[in-house]
Amino acid sequence: DDLLAAWHGRTHRSSPLLGAAAGPRGHLSTLAMAVQLDSFTKVKEMMDTMVAELKTQQTEEVKFKGYCSKELDETERTTYEKTELKKDLETQIEKLEALIVQLNEEIAEAQAQIAQTELEIKKASQAREQENKE
């Protein structure tokens, strides 16, 4: 209570007797102020430390965000390139499938012509044999 009274008394009157002439209450008041200032200094140092740590974290987060953005851009670019390649390959596959169908049709036509020609050759041979017999 004496410390508290001395503290409140300090704010209500301005005493020219502070220091050694103020007596024990003045010494206690001075000691209380020193303790408060010391505590405030420690709090201020802790706050400064926290601010420095937060700035470090912010710097690291900015670097990490930059890295993530770069990786995301690269992934999007790669995805686009692979999608375009896939489209090109699908188009090429469709063209080759159409070519296969066309070539199979041509092969079937050629085989039919070969069969027709062989039939005509056989008929012609038979006709010659008939003519040779007569």
pTM tops 0.85, yes or no: no
Asked whether the beta carbons of 6 and 30 are under 8 A apart, the reply is no
Instruction: Express as a percent the part of the chain with pLDDT over 90.
Output: 58
Average pLDDT over residues 63-74: 96
pLDDT in tens, 91-108: 999 999 999 999 999 999
Return d(Cα 72, Cα 79) in angstroms, integer. Answer: 10
Signed CA dihedral, 16, 21, 23, 29: sign only: positive
Instruction: With cut-offs at 50, 70 and 90, classify the pLDDT of residue 20.
Output: very low
Average pLDDT over residues 39-43: 71
**Exposure pattern of 71-100 as b/e (b: 16+ CB <10 Å)?**
eeeeeeeeeeeeeeeeeeeeeeeeeeeeee
